[in-house]
Structures are given as C-alpha cells and as structure tokens.
Amino acid sequence: MRILKMGQVGGGIGAFIGEVHRKAARMDGGIVLAAGAFDVVPENSLKQGKLLGLDPKRVYSTYQEMIAGELALPLGERVDFIAVCTPNHTHYPIAKACIQAGFNVMCEKPMTLTVKEAEDLEALVKKTGVVFGLMHNYTAYPMVKLAKDMVKQGDLGKLRKVVVQYPQGWLWQLLEKSGQMQASWRTNPKTSGAAGSMGDIGTHAANLAEYITGLKITEVLADLTAFVKGRKLDDDGNVLLHFEKGVKGLLHASQIAVGEENNLKIWIYGDKKGLWWSQENPNFLHVISQVAPEEIWKRGNGYVADKSKTAARGTRIPSGHPEGFLEAFANNYANFADTIRAKEEKRRAKPEELDFPSVEAGVRGMKFINAVVTSSKKGNIWVKI
Ligand code: NAI
C-alpha cells in the first residue's frame, strides 16, 4: 500500500474539524500530512505548521501558494490530495482551484454555497477524473452500512416511512455575538449560505436517509425558523419529505433544542420490520417488529460481517470496545485513499472502496438546502428537488 500525502486547507489553531480530519486520515497508517495552508491569517498558518512538525517549506500562507508550491514538486513528492476544511463559502473556490490543478480533493460539507456551484464542481470532477470525497461522516459508521444492507436485502420489506432528526442545543442563545468562531460564520448568510442549521446539520440527516434507503428525496415541505432574536438564518427546521417509490418521511434539525448534543437518530419502517440507529450510541443497530422481540445488532460480531461486507470493512477493533466519530471519518478516508490508489494502479475501484460520499452527494445536499429554503420562504409549500 503506497502511503498517500495529504495537504490541508483550514484546520488552524482553535479550529474544530481540521484536527478531526488529521487524526482520522492517519488512523490506518495509509496517509501522512505533508503540507498545509491552515488558517485565513497567514502567520497563524505558519504557527500551526510548526506545531504539527511539518517541513517549513511545505507550510504555506495561502491555498493558492500551496497549489503552486506543490505543483512545483516532482510527482511522488507533492501531495496526492487536498482536504478542504474551511467555512462553507470558501469550499467552492478552493476545491475548484485544487481540481483544476489536478489534485484529488476531500471536501467538507455543505459542498458549496449554491446549486450552480455544486453542479459546476460535479462537471469539473467528471471532466478531470480526480477523486472527490465529501465528508458526510455519518454514513461511514459500520452500523449505518449494516442498516443499508438490511434494507437492500429486503429485511424490512417494502419501505413506507422514514423519520430522521438532528437536534443540537449549542446555538440556543446569540453565541455569535461573543465572536465565537464556529458560531460566527455559521450564522452569517455570506459565509454559511442560504440556510443555517438546515445546511449545517440538516444536510447530514438528509444524506443519512438517502444513503440507508437508497432512495432520493423528491420533494419537501419545510418550516424554518430563526428562534433567537437577531439571528439571520434558521436555527430550527421541520421538513416533510417525499421519497422515490412512495416512501414518506420527516426530518427535523435544530440548534436551539436545549440540552441536546448531537442527537442524530433515524427510524426506518417497512411493511415487515423497522430499524433505528442513534449516533450517540453508534455501535448498535436496533431491528424492531410487530411479531417478534427487538433485535440489537452489535458492531464487530461475525453475524454483522456475514450480513454486510462494508460494515465489516469499516470495523477496526473487537466488539465491546466502542468505535465512533473519529473512526467514521477514518472509514471515509480509507475508502477515498483506496480509490485514489486504484486510479494509480489503473484498475477499477471495487464497490466497497467506492463506498464514500462524493461530488454527487454534494449536489444532492445543495439541492436539499435550496428546496427547504424555497419551501419555507414561499409559505410552506411542496417544492421538488
Ligand atoms: P472553524 O471555524 O472551526 O475552522 C475553520 C478554519 O478554516 C480556521 O482555522 C480558519 O482560519 C480556516 N480558514 C478559513 N478560510 C481559510 C482560507 N481561505 N485558507 C485557509 N484557511 C482558512 O470551522 P469548522 O467548525 O472546523 O468547520 C469547517 C467546515 O467543516 C465547515 O464547512 C463545516 O460545515 C464543516 N464541518 C463538518 C463537520 C462534519 O461532521 N462533517 C463537523 C464540523 C464542521
């Protein structure tokens, strides 16, 4: 296995998700951090590079300098991919520049600010053939992959209903007023996009529902609210969903649900059985029935591996030793990296290697945001995606 070199944009000192990407990428020993433009303030990027022990020649003041500096290195020395871990409004220009320079990209969600930008990136990825990953990490948990395989294998029967929720409470007050970095850009339409909580976490919930069911959401009816006085973007939203094949559902995402942390949870009901999974207790998948006791499937056991190859592939340690958030990120990185290696080896990537969200998921996310915002603004009407 060739060890891939990672470049990173974002993830400066005090940033949230950049450090998660670094930890997850190196988890399996197949990726090393080699370069970065870590912060919007150039001096802070240099400070972060020093703390991370990088070669000072590979720590850049801006992403443009990183692209130019890495392109000047011979193939094999330069980074194999660039992870974009910056606020939403910067994803499009940074990802576009990286792709145009021929770099593979791992990008944070939501992918862009508009549907048009998302479609532009999709066309560019297709044209150039770069490998593109989108960090919807919740679909990378082994028990979510097991749920997907159960649905696919017909265990639930014909699907009828999906309920998915993502409540958080951390924006229950005007936190952005204090200048808190993560709250500030997330609540500003210029840096966050057309939606607040729906873009930040509603897109994760929609992606989870589409991944497990294998069905697309076709239309939505949304009611978005900014509960906190002075806030410009939604901090709460309730959405009715229509999926393909007549499946119906609902999604709620909130950042003012006081007391909640990251209570992402999904229930799927078919005409034979149902299932539910909770992100805060992710090593278990619950299968429920009208005529039999509840089954609790536990990560890491042989019966999971028998049922789902992708769930087994996304498991590192024996059952009973919990795996979670970092491992899910690492699963997306492992599959993304194997797909890059497959390209290098001029072979077709296997389906299990391709099991990570890509640019199409980014386009779906942007269409979802666009539809829920439109629906809510137009007085809670059904809007097609
Ligand atoms: P943050 O505010 O904690 O960190 C952003 C970092 O990007 C800072 O270090 C900032 O200096 C840097 N930055 C901004 N513009 C830059 C530029 N032009 N060049 C270089 N660095 C730049 O933000 P956070 O919470 O880490 O979020 C970043 C992205 O990750 C967002 O798009 C967010 O939606 C996404 N995210 C995804 C999560 C997931 O579960 N997949 C969880 C949290 C965030």
Q: Does one domain contain both 101 and 235?
A: no
Please indicate, yes or no, whether residues 186 and 63 belong to a single structural domain of this protein: no
What's the mean pLDDT in 242-261? 98
Which helix or strand (DSSP H or E) is residue 152 part of?
A: helix 142-152
- Whether 41 and 100 share a structural domain: yes
Q: Which of 52, 62, 85 to mutate to test the pocket of ligand 1 (most atoms within 8 A of CB)?
A: 85
Query: Phi/psi zone of residue 157: left (φ > 0), alpha (ψ -120 to 50 degrees), beta?
Result: left
- Ligand 1 in reach of 87 Cβ (< 6 A): yes
Domain assignment present for 324: no
Q: Which atom of ligand 1 is nearest to the CA of 13?
A: 9
Per-residue pLDDT tens digits for 255-270 = 999 999 999 999 999 9
Per-residue buried b or exposed e for 179-215, using 16+ beta carbons within 10 Å of the residue's own CB: eeebbbbbbbeeebbbbbbbbbbbbbbbbbbbbbbeb
3-state SS, residue 323: coil
Question: CB of 88 closer than 6 A to ligand 1?
Answer: yes
Percent of the chain with pLDDT over 90: 100
User: Looking at the structure, do residues 131 and 169 belong to the same domain, yes or no?
Assistant: no
Residue of the nearest CA to atom 38 in ligand 1?
17
Q: What is the DSSP letter of 108?
A: P
* Ligand 1 in reach of 176 Cβ (< 6 A): no
CA angle 225, 266, 143 (to 5 degrees): 140
DSSP label of 41? S
Sign of CA dihedral 122, 126, 132, 138: positive
186: its two tokens = 């997330």
Question: Residue 309 belongs to what domain range?
Answer: 139-317+365-377
For ligand 1, what atom is nearest to the CA of residue 44?
11
Same domain, 153 and 297: yes
- pTM metric for this prediction: 0.98
Going from the Cα of 91 to the center of ligand 1, the distance in angstroms, rounded, reads: 9
Q: Grade residue 239 by pLDDT with cuts at 50, 70 and 90.
A: very high
Q: What is the pLDDT of residue 354?
A: 98
What is the C-alpha to C-alpha distance for residues 118 and 362, in angstroms, rounded to an integer? Answer: 7
* 208 closest CA partner among 288, 309, 278: 278
Same domain, 170 and 236: yes
Say how many Å lie between the CA of residue 161 and the centre of ligand 1.
Answer: 34
**String of DSSP letters for 256-297:** --TT-SS--EEEEEESS-EEEEETTSTTEEEEE-SSSPPEEE
Residue 385 covered by a domain: no
Q: What is the pLDDT of residues 67-79, one digit of tens each?
A: 999 999 999 999 9
Q: Are residues 127 and 200 in the same domain?
A: no
The answer to the question of residue 323 being in a domain is no
Angle at the Cα of 25 from the Cα atoms of 348 and 5, rounded to 5 degrees: 70
- Residue-level pLDDT at 156: 98
133 and 232: one domain?
A: no
Q: Do 279 and 342 belong together in one domain?
A: no
- The mean of the pLDDT values for the chain is 98
Residues 26 and 78 in one domain: yes
The pair of structure tokens assigned to 367 is 């269409």
C-beta separation of 7 from 73 below 8 A: no
C-alpha 117/C-alpha 120 separation (Å) is 5
Nearest-CA residue for ligand 1 atom 44 is 17
The closest of 274, 281, 255, 130 to 187, measured between CA atoms, is: 255
Tokens 């990490």 — which residue?
A: 137
Q: Which residue has the tokens 């942007």?
A: 366
Q: Residue 137, CB half-sphere, CA atoms under 13 Å: how many?
A: 21
Is 227 among the domain residues? yes
Could you report the per-residue pLDDT of 155-175, keeping only the tens digit for each? Answer: 999 999 999 999 999 999 999
Cα–ligand 1 centroid distance for 285 (angstroms): 31
Whether 260 is in the pocket of ligand 1, judged by its Cβ within 6 Å, is no
CATH number at residue 84: 3.40.50.720
Decide if 95 is inside a domain: yes
Q: Is 193 in the pocket of ligand 1 (CB under 6 A)?
A: no
Calculate the CA 320 to chain-centre distance: 26
Nearest CA to ligand 1 atom 35: 108
Can you tell me the distance from the alpha carbon of 60 to that of 62, in angstroms, rounded to the nearest whole number? 6
How many C-beta neighbours within 10 Å does residue 129 have? Answer: 11
Euclidean distance between CA atoms 319 and 221, whole angstroms:
41
The answer, yes or no, to whether any atom of ligand 1 lies below 6 A from the CB of 9, is: yes
Q: Would you say residue 382 lies in a domain?
A: no
| CB contact at 8 A, 71 and 42 | no
Residues 128, 173 share a domain: no
Structural domain count of the chain? 2
- Per residue in 203-231, pLDDT tens? 999 999 999 999 999 999 999 999 999 99
Q: Measure the CA–CA gap between 31 and 106, rounded to whole angstroms.
A: 13
Ligand 1 centroid to Cα of residue 85, in Å, is: 5
4-10: strand order across its sheet: 31-37, 4-10, 81-85, 104-107, 132-134
Q: Are residues 212 and 302 in the same domain?
A: yes
pLDDT for the residue numbered 207 = 98
Judge contact between 113 and 146, C-beta under 8 A.
Answer: no
The token pair at 59 is 């720590």
Exposed e or buried b per residue across 43-77, where buried means at least 16 C-beta atoms within 10 angstroms of its C-beta: ebbbbbbeeeebeeebbbbebeebbebbeeeeeee
Asked whether residue 117 is domain-assigned, the answer is yes
Q: How long, in residues, is the chain? A: 385
Percent of the chain scoring above 70 in pLDDT: 100
Mean pLDDT across the stretch 70-89? 97
| pLDDT tens digits, 5-26 | 999 999 999 999 999 999 999 9
d(CA 244, CA 264): 23
384 Cα to the center of ligand 1, angstroms: 30
Work out the pLDDT band at 367, boundaries 50, 70, 90: very high
Instruction: Report the CATH number at residue 261.
Output: 3.30.360.10
Q: Which of 8, 9, 17, 67 to mutate to test ligand 1, by most ligand atoms within 8 A of the CB atom?
A: 17
Decide if 326 is inside a domain: no
